[in-house]
Chain A
């Protein structure tokens, strides 16, 4: 599989996530679409890591080039887990205050 196919797959997943964020009104669905976009980026990072590794593997068979990209994905997952905790706590608090998670009711900062 050439790297192009992975790029196109990640772009497609990212675009689906953006369409979801723009079309839905439920705050939790919007949050899930953001997770989808994060995963598309992770997939692209892993594919690039593999490509980079294979390029170095042809010269030296004991190379560990490409490990950094996988650790980057690992740290992205860590940050995403922390983000989900705080974001869901905010959504629960909003639901307790206005009894809805419809984002059209969340424009109170305007007034």
Chain B
């Protein structure tokens, strides 16, 4: 068992356990913290897959910014109580059954594919470094990059308009 395999199994177990704890925690704050654990595990997978820049961006954007936003909203609503109403038992069983059957079908459909790349993750690759990614991003993909800035502008405007106090425009 090489070190890559040990890392793979450890990070996979961490990601799956964290994901299950996100779903089954009663307290929303604990769900956010377990989701941060999942993001760390996925970043570890990115590093194993030689995508170093994406690993750092995943940590900074997801675990650093988005999860803090979630924590802010949860604490703003004062929702860290454990008395959340649950769905009925039958609904939960039906949901678990449907999700499990989706996973079963996908695994059954994909388990027989014969990958031609067997010696995977042995050669070193430097396509995930910031030099290569930046070169491609600012030459071939510069138009989507600029369009994403417009997307962010619209997201800012939308968040401000939605989060603003309701003034005399509504008649409710």
Contact = CB atoms under 8 A, between A and B. Distances in A.
Contacts of B121: 1, 50, 54
- Binding site secondary structure of chain B: helix
Nearest to B20: A16
A97 to B, nearest CB: 8
B159 A51 contact: no
Contacts, number: 228
Interface in A46-96: 46-47, 49-51, 53-55, 57, 64-68, 70-71, 73-75, 77-86, 88-93, 95-96
Interface of B: 4-5, 8, 12, 15-16, 19-20, 22-23, 28, 31-32, 35, 38-39, 42, 45-46, 49-51, 53-54, 57-58, 61-62, 65-66, 69-70, 73-74, 76-77, 79, 84-87, 91-92, 94-96, 98-100, 102-103, 106-107, 110-111, 113, 115-121, 123, 125, 127-128, 132-133, 136-137, 141, 144, 148, 151-152, 154-156, 158-159, 162-163, 166
